[in-house]
Amino acid sequence: MTQEHPSIAIAAQARGHHAPPMSREKVFEIEDLSVHYGDKPAVKNIGMDILHKNITALIGPSGCGKSTLIRCLNRMNDLIPSARVDGRLLYHGEDLYGPNVDPIQVRKLIGMVFQKPNPFPKSIYDNIAFGPRIVGMAGDMDEIVEGALRRAAIWDEVKDRLNDNAFGMSGGQQQRLCIARCIAVEPDVILMDEPCSALDPISTGKIEDLMTELKEDYSIVIVTHNMQQAARVSDMTAFLIVELTADERERWGEIVEYDETEKIFTNPSDQRTEDYVTGKVG
């Protein structure tokens, strides 16, 4: 382990101003989790505690299973018939994969924002109202819609055209609409699978600001390819890597290091993490 740290990719002042994790309450406790697609492993030996009302980033090279891991957290992997999840995944102490757990109910509490903005081919209003309607939320729908759009910081841009088709919005607006749609059902956790990879830097900045605001009320887990983004927004960071068997027949993802973001980016304890965050590999 080197004592001196080489040039870190991101200067300290550009790294945002996150204090050490505010909350120590655990929202997810993951123990020895592994996921297989058919008989091919995707991730193995995952163990980490995700803290409540924090932003947790998953970083690592392509194919390291970041998306697979985040999709375990709201049971979206159930939609892939060949996927099999082993190990323990507790959500506020309850086993998320327990026999009495309904994945539909899980997804009402744990929302998700996808890589490519995927608004429904409907009006802006109906995009937001869809979730609350199927969940059967009480209250005035106009207020629910306005509230969600306001919290997603997009209300001022769309308030005059709520009945326009959402496909007419820019990519960045569509993605914030998707975040608003997710917030509208009042989840507990928001999962974001590379939410900015299809967006320009200005739209990305807006979404990052939004995430920082949203963590007051929600736990956020974000998968990102962009290390600067992880450094800017997250409180905790997990670095995953691709492991291979000797004959290279099988490959799967494992966690190398999981710690406070500050530490991962300035003083990582594993050489592989340091090589990755300083841009020597990857």
Q: Nearest approach, Cβ of 34 to another protein (angstroms)?
A: 23
Q: What one-character DSSP code corresponds to residue 227?
A: H
Q: What element of type H or E holds 244? A: strand 236-244
Footprint on residues 94-133 left by another protein (CB under 8 A): 104-105, 107-109, 111-112, 114, 116, 118-122, 130-131
Which of residues 181 and 206 has its CB atom nearest to another protein in the complex? 181
Spatial separation of the C-alpha atoms in residues 23 and 259, rounded to whole Å: 14
Burial group, residue 224, by CB count within 10 angstroms (0-12, 13-18, 19+)? buried
CB atoms within 10 A of CB 280: 11
Interaction pattern, residues 43-82, with another protein; x per rule: CB under 8 A: -------------------------------x-x--x-x-
Instruction: Return the structure tokens found at 51.
Output: 């803290």
Q: Which stretch binds another protein (CB under 8 A): 28-36, 59-67, 176-184, 218-226?
A: 176-184
Among 134, 244, 269, 271, binds another protein (CB under 8 A): 134
Cα–chain center distance at 85: 19
Instruction: Return the structure tokens found at 127.
Output: 């995009």
Q: For residue 21, state whether it binds another protein (rule: CB under 8 A).
A: no
Q: For residue 182, state whether it binds another protein (rule: CB under 8 A).
A: yes
Contacts of residue 80, Cβ cutoff 8 Å, sequence gap at least 6? 37
Residues that bind another protein (CB under 8 A): 74, 76, 79, 81, 104-105, 107-109, 111-112, 114, 116, 118-122, 130-131, 134-135, 167, 178, 181-182, 185
